[in-house]
């Protein structure tokens, strides 16, 4: 078996620079629910965690309840598609690198904490869907990274009979790297993304790339 035949790729901060669209939509959603939005620096710090919209809102508004969080999420998702279309771009060399990975014989899947319909829409806009054999993203009543149940319940059923040594998680935040550790699979830190350098390095990922275009070479190392 070739080294890491299955690559699990995060989306935000790994394939696509989504931070401007996210920050724009977060501010709109906070305004819509009547909560004073924190500064962009505070929001960027929250984004380093790689969590979900619910966990981000509850961290900013700890006295909120599930209904408040659900309202915030609805508003965010209403604002985000337009912001994504206007402000999100792929990182340099993404299409060429995905092509090279397929030529290496890799099977690619998206593993994201982003809302599944949003991921699909953004991927479709950039023409990325043909590269991927599966998309695992945030859906109601399913666990999300770094919960190891994501591996058991959502990833392994897509690739039955493969050992965990076949998988490599490629992502930019502690959620990605901690998920890999929790799930018993290897990890590659995308250091150019949205994560905290100190926190990500502390998790001692198996590989590190400083640009997405570096991944094919890193896999041959």
Question: How many Cβ atoms sit within 10 Å of the Cβ of residue 75?
Answer: 19
Output the pLDDT for position 120.
96
**pLDDT-above-90 percentage for the chain:** 94
Confidence of residue 14 (pLDDT cuts 50, 70, 90): very high
Confidence of residue 51 (pLDDT cuts 50, 70, 90): confident
> What are 110-154's pLDDT values in tens digits?
999 999 999 999 999 999 999 999 999 999 899 999 999 999 999
Is it true that the peptide bond before 146 is cis, omega within 30 degrees of 0? Answer: yes
Inter-residue contact 122 to 84 (CB < 8 Å):
yes
- The CA R_g of the chain, rounded to the nearest whole Å, is 17
Query: What is the signed CA dihedral for 91, 94, 96, 100, rounded to 10 degrees?
Result: 140
Does residue 41 register a pLDDT over 60? yes
Confidence of residue 4 (pLDDT cuts 50, 70, 90): very high
Output the pLDDT for position 50.
85
Largest CA distance in the chain: 54
**With the C-alpha atoms ordered 160, 167, 198, 13, is the resulting torsion angle positive or negative?**
negative
* pLDDT, mean of residues 31-57: 92
> What are 70-95's pLDDT values in tens digits?
999 999 999 999 999 999 999 999 99
Task: Report all structural domains of the chain as residue ranges with CATH numbers, in order of start.
Answer: 6-17+89-220 (3.40.50.1000), 19-87 (1.10.150)
Does residue 218 register a pLDDT over 80? yes
Output the pLDDT for position 109.
98
Return d(Cα 172, Cα 53) in angstroms, integer. Answer: 17
Confidence of residue 178 (pLDDT cuts 50, 70, 90): very high
């Amino acid at each position: 078996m070739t080294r890491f035949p299955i690559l699990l790729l995060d989306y935000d901060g790994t394939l696509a620079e989504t931070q401007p669209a996210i920050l724009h939509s977060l501010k709109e959603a906070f305004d819509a629910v009547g909560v004073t939005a924190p500064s962009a620096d505070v929001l960027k710090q929250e984004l380093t965690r790689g969590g979900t919209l619910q966990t981000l809102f509850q961290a900013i508004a700890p006295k909120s309840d599930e209904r408040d969080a659900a309202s915030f999420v609805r508003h965010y998702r209403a604002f985000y598609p337009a912001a994504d279309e206007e402000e999100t771009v792929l990182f340099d060399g993404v299409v060429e690198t995905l092509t090279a990975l397929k030529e290496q014989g890799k099977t690619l899947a998206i593993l994201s904490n982003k809302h599944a319909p949003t991921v699909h829409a953004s991927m479709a806009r950039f023409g990325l869907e043909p590269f991927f054999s599966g998309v695992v993203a945030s859906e109601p009543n399913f666990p999300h990274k770094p919960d190891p149940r994501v591996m058991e319940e959502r990833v392994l059923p897509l690739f039955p009979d493969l050992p965990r040594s076949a998988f490599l998680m490629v992502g930019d935040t502690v959620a990605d790297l901690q998920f890999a550790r929790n799930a018993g699979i290897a990890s590659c830190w995308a250091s150019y993304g949205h994560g905290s350098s100190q926190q990500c390095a502390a998790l001692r990922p198996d590989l590190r790339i400083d640009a997405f275009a570096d991944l094919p070479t890193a896999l041959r190392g």
